Amino acid sequence: MSQQLAENLPKQLPRIDAKEQSEEEEEATVPPTPGIVADFETAIDAAGFGMFNILLLVAAVPAAMGTVYETSTMSYILPSAECDLKLSLLDKGILNAITYAGMISSAVFWGYFADTKGRRKLLIYGYAVDTICVLGGAFSQSVVQLMIFKYFGGFCMSGPFAVLMTYLTELHGRQHRQRIMMIVGIMFSIATLTLPGLAMLMLPQDWELNIWNFKMTAWQMFVAVTALPSLLSSMLFPLFPESPKFLMSRGRNQEALAAFQFMYALNTRKPKDSYPFKVLANEVPEQVTKHKSHAELKLPIESSATATVPPVDPELATMPKSGLSAGLSQLRPLFTKPYLGLSLWVYLLNFCVLLGQNTMRLWLPQLFASINEFEHQVGGQSGETSICRILEFSVNRTQSQLVAVKDPNAECTVNVTAATYTNNLIVAAAGLVAYMLAGFLVNLVGVKRIMTVGLLCAACCSIGMYWSSSAASTVAIASLFVTMGSISATSVISASVSLFPTSLRTMIVSLEMMFGRLGSLLGNIFFPALMGLGCVPPFFMISFFMLAGCVMAAFLPLKNKAALK
């Protein structure tokens, strides 16, 4: 869960300090004056909060579900699909990891697209193409075909994954922005909870459907159903306007004004013409302004020269410049003092945290399926469900299934019941509770302390799996691991935002998430390889990286509740 939340943190994080918080309430009570040029914050506050915002949040629900389903679906179908696809342990690891490979390879492309073509277009095209990729995966008849579609699914989802929170943030005023971030985080948590519920309903069924030359079983129908949120998102986002912040940063102020008027009319039930502002401030970065006249910026020369322009919020006004030279200029400070060492420290920290968190999270469905099948075969004998016995059973069973697939006289069977996914539902619910408590705990004890303690607890839980002697204790330890890892992964992003100035914040979050995805990819490939060596190595690997993250978090130069730079 944390990985989905962390990856969807907005590219432009709102700046909050004590002075600004005290001024927000005053700004909300002062009615806007029609005669002045409005900056973005003034204009978005005048649009109000109401029906438009509620409809936008409703549209964000399937979008959040689509992003969660893209990265997590494979972990649930592995027990059901191993006979149909002839899956080895390494194949299972690659299927879990390949989505992250697609995300890493497309990060630069989607970043350029978002900054030049807009957030709305990216969301529409990204979810539409992802729908095609998910349906292609559903019709796959071999593991290679499924891997290809999952790779391109990750490639397509990387853009909407990162831009969704930015888009929602830019369509809300400062008064509601933090609450919206919390609400969307809860949406991602609930989406994580719905996936095992859907798996519980569909995967145990003995369904088989023949469409032309394609055979579809229950797991393929399950994959096809997970395309619905992306399809719905691609149909809903065309009904909403482009981000007015993006439009103003590109000099398209008339379009931005039309967007504000549309929001105002829906929220207040008043005519668009009654929107209190007629002219918007010039928020085009200086490098663009040099090459544009007042006419091109759609700003009257007289108004821009004489009107009083309110100060622009520095956090939302800072937009990444498009083009190779602009990207290099953003990267340069991160590779020189004083930020070189600190940025590398943050990248490595996120690499360790997401390697441990996402490896354990994505292998839990397979682990719980093995526990369920093992207990079914041995009849629930006491003392027989230690984690080492379970892993040994899982490895041997996978090998025997591969032999059965190759031998025409042998039968390859899978035993998947609704109880197989009950434990996943419990772990997902624990993660949801963790997110609900995260905001309170961070404010109470501070980001650095909660991150350090959370990673230490997660490391202890991982190595503690070795001594787990029953299914109940395994579920309890896994739930605690996911809970602590969830809070810690979210805290890493919060900490990195506090460590760097506004101008570098977007690039830092993007790069550290790229390293985190690389960790997720490598962890899911190494885990099955280490399973073949015994029960200690895979959990020791996760514990080692979580402990390394704990040590790095403890030495971060971060003060609790420090003001943003």
For 487-504, how does the pLDDT look when each residue is reduced to its tens digit (9 = 90+)?
Answer: 888 778 777 767 776 556
3-state secondary structure of 186: helix
pLDDT of residue 343: 84
Please give the structure tokens belonging to residue 46. 């005048």
Express each pLDDT in 219-250 by its tens digit.
999 999 999 999 999 999 999 999 898 888 88
Please give the structure tokens belonging to residue 461. 């839980």
Cβ proximity of 502 and 510 under 8 Å: no
pLDDT at 324 over 70: no
Express each pLDDT in 437-461 by its tens digit.
766 676 677 778 888 988 999 999 9
3-state secondary structure of 46: helix
pLDDT of residue 376: 73
Q: Tell me the β-bridge partners of 217.
A: 208
pLDDT of residue 291: 40
Sort residue 157 into left (φ over 0), alpha (ψ -120 to 50) or beta: alpha
Q: What does the angle CA 95 – CA 482 – CA 460 come to, to the nearest 5 degrees?
A: 110
The tally of CA atoms less than 13 A away on the side-chain side of residue 177 is 24
pLDDT of residue 327: 53
- What is the overall mean pLDDT for the chain? 78
Residue 346's φ and ψ, nearest 5 degrees, are -70, -40
pLDDT of residue 230: 94
Instruction: Work out the angle between the directed axes of helices 40-47 and 174-202 (0-180°, nearest 10).
Output: 70
Distance CA 123, CA 413 (A): 41
Helix (H), strand (E) at residue 217: strand 214-217
Name the amino acid, one letter, at 496.
Answer: S
Higher-pLDDT residue of 534 and 328 is 534
Sort residue 294 into left (φ over 0), alpha (ψ -120 to 50) or beta: alpha
Cβ proximity of 436 and 350 under 8 Å: no
Express each pLDDT in 91-106 by its tens digit.
888 998 999 999 888 8
Distance CA 273, CA 276 (A): 8
Q: Which residues contact 220 (CB under 8 A, 6 or more apart)?
A: 138, 139, 140
The Cβ of residue 172 has, within 10 Å, a number of other Cβ atoms equal to: 23
Average the pLDDT over 517-522 and give the result. Answer: 92
Residue 252's φ and ψ, nearest 5 degrees, are -95, 65
Q: Which residue has the tokens 């996914």?
A: 421
Cβ proximity of 548 and 382 under 8 Å: no
Higher-pLDDT residue of 287 and 559 is 559
Average the pLDDT over 342-365 and give the result. Answer: 90
Q: Is the pTM of this model over 0.85?
A: no
Cβ proximity of 102 and 129 under 8 Å: no
% of the chain surpassing 90 pLDDT: 23
Higher-pLDDT residue of 42 and 402 is 42
Please give the structure tokens belonging to residue 487. 């809070």
Q: Which residues contact 269 (CB under 8 A, 6 or more apart)?
A: none
471 confidence band (pLDDT: 50, 70, 90): confident
Domains located in the chain, CATH noted: 34-284 (1.20.1250.20), 333-564 (1.20.1250.20)
Asked which of 146-155, 177-186, 408-417 is least confident by mean pLDDT, the reply is 408-417
Q: What does the angle CA 289 – CA 290 – CA 293 come to, to the nearest 5 degrees?
A: 70
pLDDT at 379 over 70: no
